[in-house]
Structure 1
Amino acid sequence: MLMHEIKHIENHDYYIKQFVNFLTITYWWFPPVYILRKNIDLFLEIRVDEKVVKKMSERERLNYAQLLIHVQKSLVNKTDPFAKEYYSFLIDDSSNVLEYRIRYILEESFMKKTNYLLLVVICSLVFFSNSIIFEASFPAPSAETPYVTISEDTIDNAYIIQHKDGTYTLFIDGEEGSIEDPTVSPFSEIPIIKE
């Protein structure tokens, strides 16, 4: 077990796990990041298992597998509710993951490799997913739709000035804006002053 942990330190797995935790925190809303975290953890454990058992005899491999099962059982049987937090870095496997690791150790199937192009695509998917932004779409207002909404309170403080050139300016509480047609609602109730 000490050899296993030494290999984790030599491989700088702590930094990899912290980086994956950072990704998970940053992209918490993106479900594939949780799958990535689970698979990275599994990969790190299997990589270390491979290095530890590489030069072991079949009997030593069985002892190593039994040790993994024993450690997992010990952690499950802990009565301390915080035990999982203390030991999660050492071994945090479900029974399926532990079974996969043991089969991997005993069958010596260390030659499986993932296509590097696939790994690059999956890793870049996490980063490029941030470039997709969903925004609400609103239709552009038509010429008949007034841009201003006027409440009952503001009608008393509003007036329209009709200029000599035929344009109209709306004044509401000291603010001004041009309007096309003062006969359209809600402007029809506002008094018009000729210039």
Structure 2
Amino acid sequence: MAVSLEQWKKMFLAAADLLLENAENLSRTDAVIGDGDHGITMTKIANLIKEKAAKDYIKTPDFFEDLGWGTVNVQGGSAGPLFGTFITGMQEAKEDASVADVLECALKELQGMSNAKIGEKTMMDALIPAVEAMKNAESDEEALELGAKAAAKGAEDTADYIAKYGRAKNYGEKSIGVKDAGACSMALIFEGLRQGYYR
């Protein structure tokens, strides 16, 4: 892969730091139309990232696989399986893949599990626009900048949508005005990957 194993570790560690910093906000957001425990689950995932990044791996896909399956098994609603599937999908990228290609593989893997589309108030509202934006980039740096920006906007936009999945869907139109916690977490991950690239 174009980005080294050590670089990917730094990128994920930066994402973990952002998730930990924002854990309380994520739970607060989730509490309005969900279970209120999303920040707790993302804290577990962030701590797992730190644990796995400290290990030695022969190849980058080995890191993605170990972290991904570890995340799938994190207890706390659907976040673990969803974010874990996203990470395991990264290992499907070719050895010389760009960052954009790696994240496109992650999206495809997740789409095998979730049918959610843009506008349905899920993590896909941040992920799909981010991956689409990255395709237009001419470098990994530009891809990460574009991806982080698109993911952040996608997460913000979820406040305008009616929830179609999870507990939030029971709120119907009352879910308008509240951002989706999963999309916010995805946006934080993209911002972390961007920041970590420069470490």
With structure 2 as the length reference, what TM-score do the two structures score?
Answer: 0.29
Using CA pairs under 8 Å that are at least 6 residues apart, name the structure with larger relative contact order, 1 or 2: 2
Q: Which has the higher helix share?
A: 2
